[in-house]
Structure 1
Amino acid sequence: MTKLTAFLEKYLLPFADIFSKNRYLVAIKDSFLISLPFTIFSSLFTAIANIPFLSSLFGEEKVAQFQTFVSPTFSLTMGVISLIVATGIGYSLSHHYKVNQIYGALVGLLSFIMITPTTTVTESGEKVVNILPLSEIGAVGMFSAIIMSILATEIYRYAIQHNWTIKMPSSVPKLVSDSFFSFIPIAVALLAAFAIRMIFEATSFETVNNLIYQLLQKPLTSLGTSLPATIIVGILVNLFWFFGLHGHVIVGSVMVPIWNAQSFDNLTAFQAGKELPHLVTGQFTDFFVLNGGYLSIPVLTSLLFFFKKRSEWNDLGKIALAPGIFGVYEPLIFGLPVMLNPILFIPLVATPIITTSISYVAMATGLVPFTTGVALPYTMPLVISGAIVTNSISGAILQLLLLVLLTFMWYVFLKVLDGQKTQIEKESMSHE
């Protein structure tokens, strides 16, 4: 173990140091740290609203009413995460450049809103105008928010540093003076965002979000459901998470219809008592490949039991415990953070490789039955879900084995991260 951690420290820490000094990556990481209270709040209510077997206790109708009642706790926090991220990036970059942080944050936010479509089409085909669709400002809009906030803040600070400003006499109140001082830089940044909006509206893509989606849709659709394809999809999901983007939403929006079609085939065969035709289904990817519990439980186990002396990790583990049991791991992604952390990049990407490979082989060789197509909420805890979706105790054993392997892997890399933090703390104390 010591040799392994020493090897990782030797080759990972220099890269991590370079990575941590990039102002854009720092700004993105800062923005997600700013969003952390909102994502924890959202995660707790998501877990509560999706507690497994709740419907068997209170009835499906009452549970559905409760979920509708608490839905704003998600839709107006995590559901508008792109707005929070755009604001946070503008704030962080403005702080870096030593320009007005409030105006920088608002420039980042409004520039993203400027390129966001203000119309939507209802299920009945009716076009609704002058609205801001939640579907565009949640996880789907994250990439656009990051790009536009960085671009707008850069334009804003460039204009200020080149004196494209209106300076008022010293007798004018500071708030008024700051407003006039920032007028031209803000105007230039917002006009640039408006120009981008007009350019995209003149194309077949219509919006920046549509361009990103269509660039992803075709290659993802062509992947299929083989073992290599499923591994690639898993890597892509966690790769997006590394950059703070909701990988499940981005990739899943394309792949879920394909996986669900195969789930329906398996369910039909299972009900008819026939051989199950598909290995890769929605339940396979949900509970054996991409389940949040494969990250949250190993990381929480490590934070709470193996790193008790690092109080901030222990406190985070306690806060993230309830959502983590039900596979909600945003508090760990943004709070530890796993996002934009080069030391944790390897276990993050390796997790779906391990889960996919082992699960696929176990089912292909007959050690574990194929998933039956029986639908479960994604918040169903691991081990329980494995037994139900495969109709076999061997499904639960497979999930338990994966959790043990992943806990060991995450512990090793968290040990390296702990060593890095300890070294930084020692250097900081020596300079005081």
Structure 2
Amino acid sequence: MANVDSGFMGVLEKRLMPLAEMVGKNKYLLTLRDTFAAIMPLLIVGSMFTLIGSFPIQAWTEFLANTTIGAETLASLISVPAMCTVSMMALFVAFLMGYNFAEHEKLDDRLAAGIVSLLAWLLLLPLYTEFTPEGATEAFKVASMPLGWIGSKGVFVAIVSGFLSVKVYGALVHKNLMIKMPEGVPPTVSRAFSALIPMSVTVVCVWIVRVLFTMTPWGDLFTFLYSFLQIPLQNLGGTVFAQAFVYLFAHILWFFGIHGTNITDSVYQPILLTLSAQNQEAIAAGLAAPNIINAQFQSLFATLGGGGSTLSLLVAMLFFCRSDRIQKLAKLSIGPGIFNINEPIIFGLPIVLNPVLLVPFILVPLFNIVTTYGVMAIGLVPITNGVLVPWTTPAIISGFLVSGWQGAVWQAVLLVCGVLIYLPFIKTLDRKYLADQELAKLEESGTSSAIDEIDLDNIDFDF
């Protein structure tokens, strides 16, 4: 037995848990929590199909690509569920933001608030896709729903527009600027008319924002926010400091529910791919690989199991945590996690907006970057060979493919180090969940009157 109120665990308990409680009472953060919890089943389903379609066995991927059903390949058909879930994530978030925020704004018609939020997001969405025909030099704008913005790139706008549109809508509702229907009118019809004026005014306000952005160099709010977030990354290059800064920035975005690596990769990935190509050319010419930082360094060593190097977290959860909530989630997430799909753990634990896990979520990737750079710089582990392996390739295997047996061993070392870093933080969260679990059992057994007699703060648990 160990006293969890002493030493480092006690410090975490005293410092982080009050912060978590404060976060738990904030209506904006609660809305985000409930929204991402609601889309968890969608993300899990989409992740499973992504795993099936991208399983890192060449014979399997070739089979999917060469097998046709009707006019489509099996690979394209398997990708449809992922496209309708993960790739359209912002669409669901846009509706659920308004639906969940309505409760905190004391609005009775949550469905109307969800519709307002979704409508506001759609009004701001650039309804075209740029298309350059083969052989042409000029891009054409084709009227369409742009999939690029409907996915993770559009989540940030969905959050902002959801909060602001429901704020405007709720203010009008609370001022009773509504059409009152006489008694006897069916409730559904009455609610529809009562939402008419607030919804119309909100739409006009959002439309004005849309019009104003058409007069800017960005053209729309989506492009503006996306470009604004990329500014700190424009001058980054292939140095360990650049890699560390990119991952620090990306993981802060991840903490707020934004797919950080999608944003940073749009600017940084071309640089990394160029560096990888230089390595591949040098090795082909019989020379030493010149670039330690490259695409393989980032995808295969900076993180294991996805953003935050959450494979280490999953191992810590499986072998060192005891609460039912964490154990069940770990067992559900370990399969996708091995293949670097970590949305279930990001949004299910959750890591998003969870101050208890913020420090290790950022620290583990930075530790991986700095130490991997060091062992490659001194020649202990070979610099990656520039070969692009599928992003779903599991750790150990991927390390062997790009850096030989030394790369595989080093990935194992990073995995263990990540477990050690995550362990005290996840144990802190596990202790809270165990306490909640104990309270729930007492209430279910009808002994809630004895709850006050239990000193949960002095319960000891094994590591």
TM tier, shorter chain?
Answer: over 0.9
Q: Check conservation: 1:156, 1:186, Cα contact below 8 A.
A: yes
Once the two structures are superposed, what CA deviation does each residue of 1:241-274 show, in whole Å capped at 9, x if it has no partner? 1111111111111100000000000000111111
Q: Is the 8 A contact 1:262 1:281 kept in 2?
A: yes
Counterpart Cα distance in 2 of 1:46 and 1:377: 12
Task: Give the drift of 1:279.
Answer: 0.7
Asked if residue 106 in structure 1 is aligned to residue 106 in structure 2, the reply is no
**What is the match of residue 52 of structure 1?**
56
Percent identity, aligned pairs only? 33
Q: Any idea what SS the aligned residue of 2:234 has?
A: helix
**Counterpart for residue 74 of structure 1:** 82
Matched, 1:280 2:293: yes
Give the match's secondary structure for 1:71: helix
Stretches of 4+ moved more than 6 A in 1? none
**Alignment coverage as a number of residue pairs:** 430
CA distance in 1, matches of 2:250, 2:305: 11
Q: For residues 143 and 96 of structure 1, what CA distance do their matches in structure 2 show?
A: 20
Give the superposed CA RMSD: 1.9
Q: What is the distance in 1 between the residues matched to 2:222 and 2:346?
A: 23
Structure with max Cα Rg: 2
CA offsets per residue over residues 164-199 of structure 1, 9 Å max, x none?
A: 111111211000000011111111221111111101
Q: Distance in 1 between matches of 2:361 and 2:160?
A: 24
> Quick check: 2:396–2:408 contact (8 Å CA) kept in 1?
yes
**Secondary structure in structure 2 of the residue aligned to 1:120:** strand
1:93 maps to: 101
**Native 8 Å contact 1:27 1:93 kept in 2:** yes
Q: Is the 8 A contact 1:234 1:290 kept in 2?
A: no
Aligned to 1:306: 320
Residue 423 of structure 2 is aligned to residue 411 of structure 1? yes
**Match for residue 322 of structure 1?**
335
User: Which residue does 2:43 correspond to in 1?
Assistant: 39
- Return closer, same or farther for 1:123/1:71 CA change in 2, 3 Å cut-off: farther
Partner of 2:454: none
Q: Secondary structure at the match of 1:371?
A: coil
2:91 and 2:150 in contact (8 A); partners too: yes
Does the Cα contact within 8 Å between 1:47 and 1:379 map onto a contact in 2?
Answer: yes
**1:363–1:370 CA contact under 8 A, matched in 2:** yes
The aligned counterpart of 1:400 is 412
TM-score (norm 2): 0.89
Whether the 8 Å CA contact 2:326–2:430 is kept in 1: the answer is no
Once the two structures are TM-superposed, the CA of residue 427 in structure 1 deviates from its matched residue by 6.7
For the residues of structure 2 that align with 1:376 and 1:213, how far apart are their CA atoms?
28
Distance 1:155 1:348 in 2: 35
Alignment of 1:253 onto 2:266:
yes
Which residue among 10, 13, 16 is the counterpart of 1:9?
A: 13
- Check conservation: 2:123, 2:207, Cα contact below 8 A: yes
Aligned to 2:461: none
Contact 2:213 2:220 in 1 (8 A): yes
Matches of 1:56 and 1:14, distance apart in 2 = 49
Instruction: Tell me if structure 2 keeps the 8 A contact 1:94–1:104.
Output: yes
Residue deviations 1:388-430, cap 9 Å, x none? 111x211111110110011122221111112233445567755
Query: 1:223 is paired with a residue of what secondary structure?
Result: coil
Query: Residue type of the partner of 1:256?
Result: Q
Give 2:460's aligned residue.
none
Cα-to-partner distance string for 1:25-69 (whole Å, 9 max, x where unaligned): 111111111110110001111111111123378558428933222
Name the aligned partner's letter for residue 47 of structure 1.
L
How far does the alpha carbon of each residue in 1:70-129 deviate from its partner, in whole angstroms, 9 at most, with x for none? 222121111111111111111111122231111111111110111000111113255344
Distance of 2:196 and 2:305 partners within structure 1: 45
Structure 2 residue 299 is the aligned partner of structure 1 residue 295: no
Q: Which amino acid letter does the alignment assign opposite residue 344 of structure 2? A: P
Identify unmatched segments of 5+ residues in structure 2. 452-463
Q: Secondary structure at the match of 2:129?
A: strand
- Aligned partner letter, 2:402: V
Distance, in Å, in 1 between the alignment partners of 2:76 and 2:61 is: 18
- Deviation by residue 1:281-340 (Cα, 9 ceiling, x = unmatched): 001101011343563322222232222x42222222222122111010000011111111
**Structure with the largest fraction of helix:** 1
- Matching residue of 2:235: 222
Shift of the 60–104 alpha-carbon distance from structure 1 to 2, 3 Å rule, reads closer
Aligned partners of 2:236 and 2:268 also within 8 Å = no
Counterpart residue type for residue 407 of structure 1: V
Q: Partners of 1:203 and 1:376 in 2: how far apart?
A: 41
